[in-house]
Amino acid sequence: YETKSALMSALTETLNKGKTIEYLEAYPSRVSAITLDQVQSEAKDLLRPEALTWVIVGDLDVIEDKVREMNLGEVTILKETK
């Protein structure tokens, strides 16, 4: 943890959730053990791409073609008014 405050917050949160210090100590190894296949499997169950709204900000002349090539859905361009 970068600061004492961050460490205390993690300890407090862990204990408030009824977990042990050992649970917190083992957290990095549990996270490291997660595989890409596991993430993709969970994502299929949890994420609904059709319900997402993408907001992409940038130079329209530079990014428009690339954004359209991604086939994310309907593209609506909002231009800044001055």
Residues 13-55 pLDDT 10s = 999 999 999 999 999 999 999 999 999 999 999 999 888 888 9
Q: Residue 50: its pLDDT value, please?
A: 82
**Number of domains composing the chain:** 1
Whether 77 is in a domain gets the answer: no
Whether 10 is in a domain gets the answer: yes
Whether 78 is in a domain gets the answer: no
Whether 82 is in a domain gets the answer: no
Q: Which two tokens stand for residue 28?
A: 């990095």
| Predicted model pTM | 0.49
Please report the DSSP string for the chain in residue order. Answer: --SHHHHHHHHHHHHHTT--HHHHHHHHHHHHT--HHHHHHHHHHH--GGG------S-HHHHHHHHHHTT-S---------
